[in-house]
Amino acid sequence: MTLSEATRARSAGRVLMLSCARPEALPWSGLPSMCSLSPPTGQEVRVASLTHSSALEKMFHAAPPGTFLRISSKRPGRARGSEGKPYIQPFYALPAERLGDFSQIVQSAVDSGDEAVYTSLAVFSSSVLYAHPGRDQRYSFAGRRCKHFLGIWIDHDVGRSREEAKNPFQLLTAEAALIGTIRQIEKGAIPLPTMTAESGRGRYVIYVFATALANTPAVRLRMRAVHDGLCARLADFAPDRSSGNTVQPFKVPGSPSVIGPVCYAMFEQGEAAAPFYSLEILEESLCVYSNSPAPPQHPRPISLRARSARSPRQNAAPMRKRMDELRRLVRLRTRWTGFRHWLLLAFAEAARRWFCAGRSIEDGNRLASDEVLGFNQSLPDPEDETVVRSAILGSRLPTKPQTNATIARNLAVTIEESHRARLSSLAHPNVVREREEVKQKRRDEKQSRRREIEDRLLSGESVSSIARSLGMSRETIYRRRRKLVPS
């Protein structure tokens, strides 16, 4: 019986003995600089399956009265950009006093055809009930509405195919990730977790607090430090750092997944079973403290953009580019009858946004008016100045600027004009599509070369041989190897 089959058995109180003496089940055993497969020296760790109701009771045992538990589901909606695809959205806000109804509400979401059901290791204030009173979906589980935290969890992002995997750690199975996690527990690298679950493709490892912690900046900083410390010690099992988000959703017991209903199990070691923790104990176990948070495992230099926010002029730079392209386009036509209004409107909007960025409204509008009037006089068939001032400059500036595709369509930009005027943002849709296809082809070729380098590195081929056969420098291959197997 495999681990996934055993955990899905859901027999309460049944203990599952996991043997760690299976190095052949760990596909990374031949790679350097990864976790050691030496025999563990600590007490043996066991995993006992839990019923859905038992798992929920342990998960939310510290939820304070008067708070609300998150229940979200993955289903189609009307969010912008979703294009009919399912995404995670609120389903119900359950009062903590009604924890016994949790499984029933999850089942109702499953019966309605939702792909998966999620929750968070946090409870929320009553403001979630009327976050969007005018919408069909009135709930909101945003972080600012979180009231208390109930635990910390790690998401092992494993089970990916070779095409999807960004590093070899993600090629592990959920069972191999659990075996590796147990090795770390037995060696004393991490404290004994409370629960675990196979999420479908990946694996959850959960630490539940003994008492709920109030949502304060100091607590959030300490929780992030503990989470980063756990990720550093479990780095060989592809931990997803997004689980450090205090309200990040994860699948609830009984949620549908690719392997069937998600089933939770508790950890046992000696006399300890499904332990609850305080934040202080986790900090002490991991040698992580609030006054010296754990550094990231592979720190990178902070970019200039991250150090300072973009200025208003930088944000308005596309408007300057749009004005330049319209000036080049104007020279290609002898008459603009039928398109002159759309041309002046697009130029005026770009000018007003560009000149008002970083200036007062009065100075920006004055400079924009002079620029638009000068642009109008450069047309082969200019518009009357009175009409420009009243209909163009006197119109209300829309909240969102026109898209490049809308302007190109209104001006009937042709393919020939796109090439002659060297248009990029305002080019004909076919030209834009061709350029994007060329860029995509280059990206695909680059990704294909990366995969070939990774495959040959994993097969044991030398750096010099790879560089010579691919016509690349050895430094490029070394850089790829450092990303593939961090030191």
Domain ranges for the chain: 3-286, 312-319+331-406, 431-484
* Residue 61 pLDDT: 94
SS3 content of the chain, % helix, strand, coil (to 5): 45, 15, 40
Beta pairing partners, 117: 73
Contact 217, 283 (CB under 8 A): no
Beta pairing partners, 95: 68
Q: How far is CA 311 from the centre of its chain?
A: 26
CA 295 – CA 228 distance, rounded (Å): 8
Q: What is the pTM of this model?
A: 0.56
| Identity of the amino acid at 462 | S
Q: Which residue has the tokens 């409870």?
A: 123
Task: Please identify, in words, the CATH class of the domain defined by 431-484.
Answer: mainly alpha
Contact 427, 438 (CB under 8 A): no
335-394 pLDDT, tens digit per residue, is 998 899 999 999 999 999 999 998 888 999 999 999 999 999 999 999 999 999 988 888
* Residue 245 pLDDT: 87
* Residue 197 pLDDT: 94
Mean pLDDT of 262-272: 91
Helix (H), strand (E) at residue 408: helix 404-410
End-to-end CA distance of the chain: 36
| Identity of the amino acid at 204 | Y
Least confident of 42-46, 250-254, 426-430: 42-46
Beta pairing partners, 264: 197
Look at residue 294 and tell me whether its pLDDT is greater than 70: no
* Two tokens, residue 151: 């635990």
Contact 25, 158 (CB under 8 A): no
171-194 pLDDT, tens digit per residue, is 899 999 999 999 999 888 899 999
Look at residue 150 and tell me whether its pLDDT is greater than 90: yes
* Residue 486 pLDDT: 54
Look at residue 298 and tell me whether its pLDDT is greater than 70: no
Task: Output the CA–CA distances (angstroms, integers) from residue 87 to 73, 77, 81, in the order listed.
Answer: 8, 7, 11
301-332 pLDDT, tens digit per residue, is 555 454 456 788 888 999 999 999 999 999 99
* Two tokens, residue 267: 């950890």
DSSP state letter for 292: B
Look at residue 438 and tell me whether its pLDDT is greater than 80: yes
Mean pLDDT of 65-72: 93
